[in-house]
Amino acid sequence: MSPRFLVLLLLPLVSALPSNTSFTITDLTWAAGTPHEVRLKQLLNRGTGESLTVIVSPGGKVEQLALADRGTGKLRDVLQGHSGNASAVWANEHWRGAMLAPFANRIANGTYDFDGRRHYMPRNEEPARECALHGFLYDKPLEVVEEQQAENHAAVTLSHRFGADPGYPFQVQMNITYILERVSVGSSQLRIRVSATNTANDGSEAPFFMGMHPYFKVKDVSTARVVMDRECADYLHVLMAAGAPRAGTLIPTLHTTPWFGFNSTDSIGGTTERPTYLDDEFKAAQIKQCTPPGTMRTMIRDEEGGAVLWQDSSFRYNQIFTGSRELWGDQNIAFEPMSAKADAYNNHDGLTILSDAETWAGEFGIYAATSFLGRAEV
C-alpha cells in the first residue's frame, strides 16, 4: 500500500495541565507507532469552538486554524492543512503551514559567503531553479518547552537548535510560541512569537531570517481579493529575474517599483480553473506611525468571509502565490510573512546578523474578519 494512503490513527491525550479553563490543550497523534507518526497539539477556545492545531513533529507546522469572524461571529476554517494525512506531512507537500527557518524563500544556487567562508546548502528546488528553498526546520522534531492554558488564551512553545545542517553550521536556538488568544467576547486570534538566539559561545556571528507558509482558504482564487492596509505601510514590488513568475530562478534583482495593487478594487482575476498566476514578493518600504506601532495588515477575502494577516515591524516582506488551483486543484492563496527578502544571505536586505548571545524576536498573527477593524485589537 502506498504510504500516501496510510490508515491514520488519531489518539487524543489530554494535557496534564488544568482542564477547567476556557482555553485547553490536547495532545493528538496521527499514524501512531508507524514511520509516519505525527505528533500535534490542539489549542481550543471552549466557549467559541475556535481552534488551532500545531504539528510538533515534524517541523512546527500550523495544521489547522478555525476562527470566529470578528464582525459576524461565524466560524471560518482559515488555513489549508494536510487533512489528517501523515504521509503528506512527512512529504512536506507544498510547504503547507510550514515555519521557514533559518531562511525563508530562496537562496540563489544554495550558496552564500559569510565571515570569509563560502557555504553550500542542498539545492532542494532542482532541477527547476537550482536554489535552496525555505530552510531546514520542516522535517525536524521540535521540543515542547512550555504550555499554558488559561481563561483568555492557550499557548505552546516549541524549540529547535540549528547547527547540524549542511551549509548552515551556526548554533542558533529558535523558539516559536503559538498562541490562541481571546480578543473579544466572541472571537480569538492566532499570535505567533518567534525568537532566535546565537548560542555559539565562541564570539562568532550567525546569519538568520525566517517566515511562514500559510495557505489561506478561499472559495474561488480568481474572484478572491487581497487587500493591503496602507495606513501603516507603503509597499514596493520586488522585481525578479527574467521568466518570473512562472519560470526563471525567482531570485530578486536589486530593483523594485512602487506597488499600488491589492487595494480592494480588483480580484486576483483569471478563471476558476486558471486564476491569474502570481509568485511575487513585496516589501514594506515605509513603516508609518500607527497603533500598535509598525503593525502591517493584509486581508485575504472571498464572498463568504476573510482573514487578516498582521505583522510587526520585524516582518516587512511578503510572498504571494496563487498557483495552487492550477497546479494542484486547491482553492487557496499563499501569503507568506518573512523577516527578510528572498536570497537575503546574498543581498542582505533585511538579514539579521546575530552576535554571540544576541537574540532576535518578532511576531505576526491571523484573525478572521472582512474589514481591518480597530488596531487596538491586534
Mean pLDDT, all residues of the chain: 92
Question: Mean pLDDT across the stretch 78-102?
Answer: 97
Rounded alpha-carbon distances, angstroms, from residue 178 to 63, 191, 210 = 12, 6, 15
Question: Mean pLDDT across the stretch 324-346?
Answer: 98
Q: What percent of the chain has pLDDT over 70?
A: 92
The phi, psi pair for 96, rounded to 5°, reads -60, 120
Burial class (CB in 10 A: 0-12, 13-18, 19+), 118: exposed
Q: What is the pLDDT of residues 66-76, one digit of tens each?
A: 999 999 999 99
Q: What is the pLDDT of residues 42-58, one digit of tens each?
A: 999 999 999 999 999 99
- Distance (Å, whole) CA 31 – CA 48: 29
DSSP letter string, 161-196: EE--BTTB---EEEEEEEEEEEEETTEEEEEEEEEE
pLDDT value at 366 more than 80: yes
pLDDT value at 359 more than 70: yes
**Residue 287 pLDDT:** 76
Is residue 342 within 8 A of residue 323, CB to CB? The reply is: no
> Quick one: how many helices (H) and strands (E) in the chain?
3, 28
- Cα 196 versus chain centre, distance: 16
Q: What is the pLDDT of residues 283-318, one digit of tens each?
A: 998 777 666 666 899 999 999 999 999 999 999 999
DSSP letter string, 285-322: EEEPP-SSTT-EEEEEEETTEEEEEEE-TT--EEEEE-
Is residue 265 within 8 A of residue 226, CB to CB? The reply is: no
Higher-pLDDT residue of 374 and 77 is 77
Judged by average pLDDT, the poorest of 63-72, 244-253, 366-375 is 366-375
Q: What is the pLDDT of residues 93-106, one digit of tens each?
A: 999 999 999 999 99
**Residue 129 pLDDT:** 87
Is residue 10 within 8 A of residue 28, CB to CB? The reply is: yes
- Helix or strand run (H / E) with residue 344: helix 344-347
Please give the grid coordinates belonging to residue 374. 480597530
- Distance (Å, whole) CA 48 – CA 40: 21
Query: What is the separation, in whole angstroms, between the first and last Cα of the chain?
Result: 47
Question: Mean pLDDT across the stretch 74-88?
Answer: 97
Please give the grid coordinates belonging to residue 268. 486576483
Is residue 46 within 8 A of residue 159, CB to CB? The reply is: no
Question: Mean pLDDT across the stretch 338-343?
Answer: 98
Q: Which residue has the cell 489549542?
A: 43
**Residue 7 pLDDT:** 34
**Residue 126 pLDDT:** 72
Max CA pair span of the chain: 58
pLDDT value at 6 more than 50: no
Q: What is the pLDDT of residues 179-233, one digit of tens each?
A: 999 999 899 999 999 999 999 999 999 999 999 999 999 999 999 999 999 888 8
- DSSP letter at 91 equals H
- pTM to 2 decimal places: 0.93
**Residue 21 pLDDT:** 82
**Residue 8 pLDDT:** 36
- DSSP letter at 33 equals T
- Distance (Å, whole) CA 14 – CA 19: 9
